[in-house]
Chains A and B, each alone.
Chain A
Amino acid sequence: MSMYLFENVEHEERYKTKIFVTSVEHSSFHWHYDYELILILKGSLQIKVGSRVALLGPRDIILLNSQEAHELQRTEEENLCLFIQINKTMISDLKNDSKLYYFYLDSKDQKHVPKNGYKAYIRMAACIGTESLKKELCNIYRVKSLIYMMIADLFEFTLCDIHQKPKEINGKNSLSLLMYIIDFIRGNFKDNNILENLYKSVGVSEKSVYRILKTNIGLSPKSLVLNNRIENAKYMLKFSDKPIEYITCNSGFCSGSTFYRTFKKMTGVTPAEYRERGGDVSVDSNIKGYLKFDIKEALYLLQNLVDEI
Chain B
Amino acid sequence: MTRARPKPAIPVDSGEPKIHVALTVNGEPVERQVSVRMLLSDFLRHELGLTGTHVGCEHGVCGCCTVHIDGKSARSCLALVAQVDGAVIRTIESVAAGDGKLHPIQQAFQECHALQCGYCTPGMVMNILARFEEPVPIDLSDDGIRYLLSGNLCRCTGYANIISAVRRAAELLGRT
Q: Are A and B genuine complex partners?
A: no
Q: Which B residues form the contact surface with A (CB < 8 A)?
A: none
